[in-house]
Amino acid sequence: MVGEAAPQQCKYWQNSGGAQDQTPVAATEESARVPWTGNAMGVGDVGILAGRARTRLVGIFGVSDSGKTSLLGSWYLLLGRGIGPQSVSFAGSLTLEGWENIAGNLRWNAAHGPSFPPHTSSGGGRHPGLLHLDLQVRSTRQDLLFADAPGEWFSRWSVRRDADDAAGAAWLSGAADVLLVIADSHELAGPKLGTARTNLVALLRRVGAERRGRPVALVWTKCDIVVDAQMRGAITQAADMVLGTYETFSVSMHAATGQEPHNRGQGLLSLLEWVVSVHEGAYPRQELPHPERDLLQIVGGVHA
């Protein structure tokens, strides 16, 4: 099959006698086929990686416009230019088209300079699009799947875990091996910083309740924008209370001054290195003291 949507449309399949076989293709078989389109994978496609060494699913949890898709796109562009964490290099992807869709905007081309990717549409989906990377990490290969979900899912899920329109976030929370929680510097330094803080603390609290000892990182995106020390302190305090152990990273698409002409952004490689190398058992489950009351003092009331 070379690009057709169904085997029946493929002339090679027809010539091979496949057309005489009228057995309908089972729905499960359909969804488990190789995603030849190269676009983002659906959950049904993940089976094709099952025979490979352990695949790591990375969940990026952040409200709308917080920089999730930009982060993914920038990793892809850096790896494509041969820039990666030490001893990590791009070895392939089953979703090249999906990566191109999100990263294309971030590229310079002859006509115009880079711009940001469009908002990730939520459609009616209950599962996020998954982007695949096969990386050479020292002497071994590692398959990674990154979930590029729409921010609205997480806003709903933070306040109502079982909300119908939060099913995709709930799925990701159950399935992810590594969790990144996004703190959007732009919003936390902007005119609606109070709401942004309340929303982020609600998200942190939800992730804290669901993480089951999995590795979590708090990722400050758009770190080219300065967030007030008091705000940073409040978020850190809330994360300490609800997550206990976690890592903190700051990233930006914008190069630090003096880094031109090769834009590597800021902090992108350190975060990718952690995502690739963190030991899944590195953060044993821990019982946190009842943080609820103190949290309410920090955020001035968050809905359950």
- Report how far residue 211's alpha carbon sits from residue 174's, in angstroms, rounded to the nearest whole number: 8
The rounded distance, in Å, linking the Cα atoms of 76 and 150 is 19
Tokens 């993480």 identify what position?
211
| Shortest Å distance, C-beta 68 to ligand GTP | 3
Contacts of 233-237 with CB under 8 Å at 24 or more apart are 234/197, 234/298, 234/299, 235/183, 235/188, 235/197, 235/200, 235/201, 235/204, 237/298
In whole angstroms, what is the distance from residue 214 CA to residue 263 CA? 32
What is the spatial order of strands in the sheet that 178-184 belongs to?
88-92, 129-137, 140-148, 55-61, 178-184, 216-221, 247-250
**Which of 75/283 has CB closer to ligand GTP?**
75
| Minimum distance, C-beta of residue 287 to Mg ion, in the bound complex (Å) | 34
Q: What is the DSSP letter of 266?
A: B
Interface with ligand GTP (CB under 6 A), residue from 35, 59, 62, 85: 62
Q: How far is the CB of 72 from ligand GTP (least distance, A)?
A: 8
Residue 64 binds to ligand GTP (criterion: CB under 6 A):
yes
Of 254, 259, 280, 292, the one binding ligand GTP by CB under 6 A: 254
> Which of ligand GTP, Mg ion, none is residue 81 near (CB under 5 to 8 Å by kind)?
none
- CA 71: distance to chain centroid? 8
Residue 98 interacts with ligand GTP (CB under 6 A): yes or no: no
Residue 285's binding partner out of Mg ion, ligand GTP, none, with CB under 5 to 8 Å set by partner kind: none
Q: What would the x/- binding string for ligand GTP be over residues 103 to 132, using CB under 6 A?
A: -------------xx-xx------------
Q: How far apart are CA 154 and CA 169, in angstroms?
A: 6
69 binding Mg ion? (CB under 5 A)? yes
Residue from 59, 85, 128, 150 touching ligand GTP (CB under 6 A): that is 150
x/- letters, 70..89, toward ligand GTP (CB under 6 A) = x-------------------
Binding site for Mg ion (CB under 5 A): 68-69, 120
